[in-house]
Each structure stands twice: as C-alpha cells, then as structure tokens.
Chains A and B, each alone.
Chain A
Amino acid sequence: MTDDRDDRQSDAPADLSRERETFVRQFLRRGFEITETVISENQELRDTLERFREENGRLRAQLASNDAIRDLIRKIEELEVERRALSIRSEELAESSRESEQRSMAVEAELHDLANLYIAATHLHSTLSLKGVVKHLAELLQQLVGAERFAIYVSDPDGKMARSIYAEGMDAPDVIVGEAPTGLVMAMRVPKIEDTPHPAGSLDAPVATVPMLVRDVCVGAITILSVFAQKERWAGVDREFLALLGSHGGTALMAASLQADRSAELHGPGKSNTYDPLDALRNIHEHLARFRDAG
C-alpha cells in the first residue's frame, strides 16, 4: 500500500480539505465529548449537591430534633423534681392531717371525760336528801368507775373510827383510823390507788381507797375492793373521778346530813329525809350580816 502523504503532495488541496474536515470533525467530536463530560460532571455535581443539601437538611432536622429531645428531657427532669416536691408535700399534709385527727380525737375524749366529771358533780350536789346523796355516790362508783365491790365510810365525830354507810358486794367492818389499809388512808389523807384494777382485791388489799375530805378534815373514805371483770385498766379520767368523789362526796354528805338534822328538828325524827329549800335559806341574810360584821 502506498503512503497517502505521497499522494497528498500531489493532491494537496483535496487532502487539506479532508484533513480540515477530519480535524473539525475530531474537534467537534472532542468538543462534544468534552461537553458531554462537562455535562455529566455537572450533573454529578448537581446530584452531589442535591445529596449534600438533603443530608444537610436531615442533619439540621436531626439537630433540631436532638434539641427538642434535650428540651423534653430537661422538662421531664424539672417535672420530676416538681413531682417529688409535691409528693413530699402531700406526705407532709397527710401526716399533718393524721396528727390533726389524733388531736381532735384526744380533744373529744377529754371533752367526754370533762362532761362525765361535770355530770357526776352536778348529780352529787343535785339533792340534799341523804338517801339521794348516798345513792348517787354508789351509782357514780358503779356506773362511771366500774366498781363492783365497794364501801363508803363516814368517820365518827371523834375521828378515831369510821363506819360504813353503804356497802356493795362486801362486808364492811368498822375501820380504825390509822390502821391499814382504809384507816391509814384516812389518817394520811392521801388516796391509794393500785396501778391496775382487778377483780380480786380484798379488805386487806383494796384496789383503791380514797379519803373524803372537807376543808382538809377527813370525814370518811371510799374503799373499792374490786372492779368489774371487763375493766382491764383504769381509764384516764378514773383518778380524777375518784378525786372528785373524795372532795365532793364528803361535802355532799355533810350538807345532806345537816339538812337531815334540820328536818328532824323541824318535823320530827321520822321526817329527816324531807327538806324545804326555802326553809333552809330562811336565815341566810342574818348569817351573812353576822359574817360581814365579824369582818
């Protein structure tokens, strides 16, 4: 085959055109290829850019979401602290409420005790009948204190002996003042009450002995040998009750006895249980005037 260049020298214008054409074609092709490459790369870049944009958006969203989560977590922690504080406050209020309820119950119980004492004192002094006073004393001992076996003693005028004016469920022999147990309590003028009541007391060991006093003078005593089986312990108000009976019992008996003397004097011995309140107050003005004059 012969070299075309040799042929070209003789066919220069035709070869040149062909070369030019070939060059242009190649140039155009190259340009086209380069353009396609550029376009392709551009597209890739666009795609990459788009991906970056999407990823950026996702990351931003995630970041925002993380912030939201952080905020929520912070809020949850704050609410948890608040919840704990409320829970503590609630417990404190519940405890306070329980204490208030207990105080209320204690006040109610004390109110009932005071009412019982008031009613007892009222009934004790509600009559000047000797029989009535003795009956009330016995009733108070049975119904309020729960005494089962007991006796009420009154001292003789010389203060050396005491004799029973009422006895329930027991023999009540005379008592020598100063001799234990009842006589010793009368001499000392101080009550003696066992720590725990029980149904098995005796004359030598009563569960309670209380002196009856009028202006520090012992006029008698109440001796309780035993209490009812269902009374397992002294009630909180029992000692106050017994003290009341000791202080008011003697006075009530004394007043009733004086009235009985007066009635017997006015109406005869058989009518010593009757009394007229207006008659009893008949000389009150003279007595008061005399006291005033005496200063």
Chain B
Amino acid sequence: MSDYSCLVVEDSPMMRQLIVFALARVKRIQITEAEDGVDALRKLASTKYDLILTDINMPVMDGLKLVKRIRADANHAQTPIIVITTEGSTEDRQRAMALGANAYITKPIQAPQVIQKVKELLKLP
C-alpha cells in the first residue's frame, strides 16, 4: 500500500522511464506518468497528488505554464512541485520558483539527487 502519489510530467518516454526508475527506489510512493502539460492537468483534475515532477521544455504546454496552472488550482495550491530542466540559468530557476515550484533540478539528472529532493519534500527518512 503506497502512502504517497507522485505525478511525473515529461514528454520524452526515455526520460520518463529514467525518472520513474529512480523514484521507484523510494518506498511508499506510487507514480503516475503524463506526456505533457495538458495530460497532466487532465490527471490532476481527477486525482490529488502529493508531489509533482515536471519538465520545463514540453510541447503543447511547457512546464512553467503548468506550474502556474497547478498553483491556481485550490486542490494543488500547496502540492510540492519539482521542476526538471536542461536550463541551468539563474533566471529560469528564479522564474520557476517565483511561479511556485519548490525545487529545481537540472539535467543531466542524477537519480540520487532526485530521490533526495523527493524525500525532502515528502518529509521521508
């Protein structure tokens, strides 16, 4: 029985698979995948998630727009959000955090780094 549900939003199937594999090492967490921002919003409309990981550069709806929409949703206004992106500039980081993201990880991602951030935000040991 999982205690926490996590939504992974990433348009690349390969990257999704990598992130899901990394997160599978965190006990008590159930993972749902979304292909882009629109797919993510569809899933968020029907399910309350404990954590959201999202890429920034995605077709249809990019990650920053998604973060903004999530924060406008009363159900997920406080849900922790981790943004994953190749962009390393301070400006992008600040934009993501200003829109309401809780953490920022740059690619190439290191699985231990993702796990650490997830555990921090879910307050897991």
A positions within 8 Å CB-CB of B: 105, 108-109, 112, 115-116, 119-120, 123, 136, 139-140, 142-146, 228-231, 235
Answer whether residue B25 sits at the interface, using C-beta atoms and an 8 A cutoff.
yes
Report Cα–Cα, A253/B108, bound state, in Å.
24
Residues B77-111 near A (CB distance < 8 A): 86, 88-89, 106-108, 110-111
Answer whether residue B14 sits at the interface, using C-beta atoms and an 8 A cutoff.
yes
Contacts of A139 in B (CB 8 A): 12, 14-15
Answer whether residue B21 sits at the interface, using C-beta atoms and an 8 A cutoff.
yes
Report Cα–Cα, A112/B116, bound state, in Å.
14
Instruction: Tell me whether A228 and B86 are in contact in the complex, defined as CB-CB below 8 angstroms, given that A139-B12, A235-B108 are known contacts.
Output: yes
Instruction: Tell me whether A119 and B21 are in contact in the complex, defined as CB-CB below 8 angstroms, given that A112-B111, A228-B86, A230-B106 are known contacts.
Output: yes
Task: State whether A119 touches B22 (Cβ < 8 A).
Answer: no
B97 → chain A, closest Cβ, in Å? Answer: 16
Instruction: Tell me whether A235 and B110 are in contact in the complex, defined as CB-CB below 8 angstroms, given that A136-B14, A139-B12, A143-B12 are known contacts.
Output: yes
Report Cα–Cα, A287/B106, bound state, in Å.
48
The 4 closest A-B pairs by CB, nearest first: A230-B88, A112-B111, A146-B108, A123-B14
For B16, give the chain A residue with the smallest CB separation: A119
Answer whether residue B17 sits at the interface, using C-beta atoms and an 8 A cutoff.
yes
Question: B6-24, CB under 8 A of A: which get 1 and which 0?
Answer: 0000001111011001100
Answer whether residue B59 sits at the interface, using C-beta atoms and an 8 A cutoff.
no
Task: State whether B88 touches A140 (Cβ < 8 A).
Answer: no
B positions within 8 Å CB-CB of A: 12-15, 17-18, 21-22, 25, 86, 88-89, 106-108, 110-112
Report Cα–Cα, A170/B35, bound state, in Å.
29
Task: State whether A140 touches B14 (Cβ < 8 A).
Answer: yes
Task: State whether B22 touches A229 (Cβ < 8 A).
Answer: no
Task: State whether A229 touches B88 (Cβ < 8 A).
Answer: yes
Report Cα–Cα, A115/B20, bound state, in Å.
11
For B18, give the chain A residue with the smallest CB separation: A119
Task: State whether A142 touches B112 (Cβ < 8 A).
Answer: no
Task: State whether A143 touches B25 (Cβ < 8 A).
Answer: no
For B108, give the chain A residue with the smallest CB separation: A146
For A135, give the chain B residue with the smallest CB separation: B12
Task: State whether A112 touches B22 (Cβ < 8 A).
Answer: yes
Contacts of B13 in A (CB 8 A): 123
Task: State whether B86 touches A142 (Cβ < 8 A).
Answer: yes
Selected from B21, B108, B111, the residue in CB contact (under 8 A) with A231 is B108
Task: State whether A108 touches B12 (Cβ < 8 A).
Answer: no
A20 → chain B, closest Cβ, in Å? Answer: 117
List 8 additional A-B contacts (Cβ < 8 Å) besides A112-B112, A119-B17. A112-B21, A116-B18, A116-B111, A119-B18, A143-B15, A144-B18, A146-B86, A229-B89
Instruction: Tell me whether A228 and B15 are in contact in the complex, defined as CB-CB below 8 angstroms, given that A108-B112, A119-B21, A235-B110 are known contacts.
Output: no
Task: State whether A143 touches B112 (Cβ < 8 A).
Answer: no
B116 → chain A, closest Cβ, in Å? Answer: 11
Report Cα–Cα, A235/B17, bound state, in Å.
20
